[in-house]
Amino acid sequence: MALRYRPELDGLRAIAIFAVMGFHFARPLATGGSFGVDIFFVLSGYLITSILLGQAEEGGIRYGAFLARRARRLLPALFLLLAVYVALGPILWPQFANRRWLDAATAAFYVTNLRETFWPADTPLSHTWSLAIEEQFYIGWPLVIGLLSRLSRRRAVQLLVAAWAVLTVARWGWETAWPAHASAYYFTPLHATGLLLGSALAFRPWPIRWGGGALAALGLLIVAGHSTQGFVLQTPVAELLAALVLTDPPRLLAAAPLRFVGRISYGAYLWHIPIAWAFDFPANFVAAAGLMALSLAAGAVSHYGLERWFLVGRSGRPAPAGAPA
């Protein structure tokens, strides 16, 4: 199922990547910027489920083709990063030279989140934990959609929202019981809630036009810029706001600069932490702005020089901008 082009979704990706980079590069200005990952999760859940649901209703989910497209979309840019990390690690990231093969392997096999859960290691590839959660979701979710598609859409939404609520409460309970353990943040079932909420939105049996998408987007900016609460309390807020934006995205998100940043956001996400480690993280706002610009440049090179080629190939037909990242 080809998704209709929705430029506002690229704008939402831009908000997410700016929040994440702000959190890592300019923490005083984006204390809650880590919730940008949760925006990505909600958006990804919505788009992936929309595709799979369309296939299920048109004759059946093409599991192999789905995974092959995900591989073409994600692996080339990731493998380029890993190749650079392994080859130039002793020069650019000398403190991680002896462990670079292990770092690269956990990222390549999408298990970084499990490593961070049980054997925490802060490395230039630690941010691939979010990619691991999404890939684990991609592998199993088509099977779930095959079952949910047999139900009414209203019933499917009810089940997905219930699962989201149960896991949200479970995450709070887990963090309360073991506050010093990283598992509440990195373990897949406890941080896949945004993917579930986005999936519920894809199943909704009625259109939602509540006219408050701009207000929800403003709420996301406030959460990303000024949140000082723990992720357990703020994550469901960020997820709900992202879902509200998706139901009625404001036109401002379709602005050309935001669309551009959204399109290159995957590469920017991949490279921004390795760049930060290579430059020992920014010490001031000028340096932070420079590293953001460098990360966006790396994202542009990744998108137009590599990612786009694998998705478009010789046909010259670009993937829809509303397609999953």
Closest Cα partner for 196 from 236, 245, 250? Answer: 236
Backbone angle region of 282, left / alpha / beta, with phi > 0 → left and psi within -120 to 50 → alpha: beta
pLDDT tens, the chain, 325 aa long: 456 778 999 999 999 999 999 989 987 777 788 899 999 999 999 999 999 999 998 889 999 999 999 999 999 999 999 999 999 999 999 999 999 999 999 999 999 999 999 888 899 999 999 999 999 999 999 999 999 999 999 999 999 999 999 999 999 999 999 887 888 999 999 999 999 999 999 998 666 666 777 888 888 888 777 666 678 888 998 999 999 999 888 889 999 999 999 999 999 999 999 999 998 887 788 888 999 999 999 999 999 999 998 876 444 444 444 444 4
Q: How many Å apart are CA 151 and CA 165, to the nearest integer?
A: 20
On the CB side of 69, how many CA atoms lie within 13 Å of its CA?
15
Domain ranges of the chain: 7-312
Give how far Cα 216 sits from Cα of 204, 207, 242, 282, Å: 19, 17, 7, 31
Strands (E), the chain: none
Place of tokens 């049980």: 118
Name, in order, each residue with C-beta under 8 angstroms of 86's C-beta and a sequence gap of 6 or more.
100, 101, 104
Read off the tokens for 84.
Answer: 């650079």
